[in-house]
A and B are shown apart, each in its own frame.
Chain A
Amino acid sequence: SAVISQKPSRDICQRGTSLTIQCQVDSQVTMMFWYRQQPGQSLTLIATANQGSEATYESGFVIDKFPISRPNLTFSTLTVSNMSPEDSSIYLCSVGLFATNEKLFFGSGTQLSVL
Chain B
Amino acid sequence: SQQGEEDPQALSIQEGENATMNCSYKTSINNLQWYRQNSGRGLVHLILIRSNEREKHSGRLRVTLDTSKKSSSLLITASRAADTASYFCATDVSLYNQGGKLIFGQGTELSVKP
Contacts and interface: CB of A to CB of B under 8 A. Distances in A.
B104 A98 contact: no
Contact of A42 (B41, B45, B88): B88
B41 A102 contact: no
Contacts of A108: 41-42
Interface in A32-60: 33, 35, 37, 41-45, 48, 59
Contacts of B70: none
Given A43-B104, A44-B2, A104-B102, A92 B43 contact: yes
Interface string B90-110: 101000001111111111000
A31 B100 contact: yes
B114 interface: no
B88 A102 contact: no
Contacts of B106: 41-42
Interface of A: 4, 30-31, 33, 35, 37, 41-45, 48, 59, 90, 92, 94, 96, 98, 101-109, 111
Contacts of A106: 35, 42-44
A77 B48 CA distance: 28
22 contacts: A31-B99, A33-B101, A33-B102, A42-B104, A43-B43, A45-B102, A45-B103, A48-B100, A59-B1, A90-B40, A90-B41, A94-B43, A98-B98, A98-B99, A102-B48, A102-B92, A103-B48, A104-B43, A104-B102, A106-B43, A108-B41, A109-B40
Contacts of B30: 102
Contacts of A111: 40
The binding surface of chain A is classed by DSSP as: strand
Contacts of A37: 40
B31 interface: yes
A105 B102 contact: no
A109 B33 CA distance: 20
Contact of B100 (A4, A92, A98, A107): A98
